[in-house]
């Protein structure tokens, strides 16, 4: 079995997880069962090539018991320099979306990414990088135990669900993710480039806000 076959099988297993069928995930099981110890492990991680070019690992931050979790793609330049998620221009927009539309503090939610180290020149992370890194995210989801996960943009949505439907077709839809809810919406970087889509993103935020009252 080569690496490609291994990736295919892993995709199938992750898809089961999306449908609510848990499997014995040895990589995830070997990780610590509290967020602070997990952070320490991830900060030292050298499992993929991105370790060679990063300045800081961006573990994620927020309320360790958040009901709502946002998942972006990968750290950008500002995040790499500070070690914090979503602190650049896209981050400022995300913060506004949370504080002005959802009307909750940014510190009340948890914010993480599919991969924890910055890909050079902000390229999309490779399948291999995602394969190495995503168990950390799955462990964060298990430990924070959010009721609602918001996938920010196509990369986040695709790697969480393994569904290749374009983000424009699925955005704003309330889906089941195991026993949680998953709502995909546009990535704030995309909204900065395409402000005409902000209207749709606003609608998605209202959907999230409504659901947040119910869970």
Residues that bind ligand URA (CB under 6 A): 72-76, 79, 85-86, 90-91, 113, 189
Handedness of CA 23, 24, 25, 28 (dihedral sign): positive
Q: Candidates 17-25, 49-57, 152-160, 200-208: pick the segment binding ligand SF4 (CB under 6 A).
A: 49-57
> What does 86 interact with, of ligand URA, ligand SF4, none (CB < 5 to 8 A by kind)?
ligand URA
Beta strands in the chain (DSSP E): 61-62, 68-72, 110-113, 148-152, 175-177, 180-185
Length of the chain measured in residues = 215
Task: Give the DSSP H/E element, type plus range, for residue 27.
Answer: helix 26-29
Does position 38 bind ligand SF4 by CB under 6 A? no
Q: Candidates 29-37, 115-123, 146-154, 192-200: pick the segment binding ligand SF4 (CB under 6 A).
A: 115-123
- Residue 80 or 204: the one with the smaller Cβ distance to ligand SF4 is 80
Q: Candidates 18-26, 99-107, 110-118, 190-198: pick the segment binding ligand SF4 (CB under 6 A).
A: 110-118
Does position 117 bind ligand SF4 by CB under 6 A? yes
- Residue 68 or 130: the one with the smaller Cβ distance to ligand SF4 is 130
> What does 85 interact with, of ligand SF4, ligand URA, none (CB < 5 to 8 A by kind)?
ligand URA
- In angstroms, give the least distance from the CB of 83 to ligand SF4: 12
Kindly tell me which residue out of 42, 71, 93, 98 binds ligand SF4, with binding defined by CB under 6 A. 42
Does position 116 bind ligand SF4 by CB under 6 A? yes
3-state DSSP percent of the chain in helix, strand and coil, to 5: 55, 10, 35
Give strand pairing partners of 69: 110, 149
> Reduced to 3 states, what is the DSSP secondary structure of residue 182?
strand
- In angstroms, give the least distance from the CB of 158 to ligand SF4: 17
Does position 45 bind ligand SF4 by CB under 6 A? yes
- Residue 153 or 204: the one with the smaller Cβ distance to ligand SF4 is 153
Among residues 64, 114, 65, 108, the alpha carbon closest in space to that of 85 is found at 114
Half-sphere exposure of 203 (CA within 13 A, CB side): 8
CA distance 135 to 60: 14
């Amino acid at each position: 079995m080569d690496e490609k076959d291994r990736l295919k099988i892993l995709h199938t297993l992750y898809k089961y997880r999306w449908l609510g069928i848990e499997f014995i995930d040895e990589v995830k099981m070997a990780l610590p069962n509290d967020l602070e110890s997990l952070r320490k492990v991830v900060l030292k991680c050298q499992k993929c090539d991105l370790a060679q070019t990063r300045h800081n690992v961006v573990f994620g931050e927020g309320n360790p018991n958040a009901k709502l979790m946002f998942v972006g793609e990968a750290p950008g330049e500002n995040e790499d320099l500070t070690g914090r998620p979503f602190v650049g221009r896209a981050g400022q927009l995300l913060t506004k979306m949370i504080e002005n539309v959802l009307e909750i503090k940014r510190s009340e939610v948890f914010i993480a990414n599919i991969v924890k180290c910055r890909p050079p020149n902000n390229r999309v992370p490779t399948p291999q990088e995602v394969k190495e890194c995503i168990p950390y995210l799955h462990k964060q989801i298990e430990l924070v135990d959010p009721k609602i996960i918001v996938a920010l943009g196509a990369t986040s949505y695709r790697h969480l669900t393994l569904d290749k439907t374009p983000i424009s077709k699925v955005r704003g839809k309330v889906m089941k993710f195991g026993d949680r809810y998953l709502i995909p919406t546009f990535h704030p970087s995309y909204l900065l480039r395409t402000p005409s889509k902000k209207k749709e993103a606003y609608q998605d935020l209202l959907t999230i806000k409504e659901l947040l009252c119910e869970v």
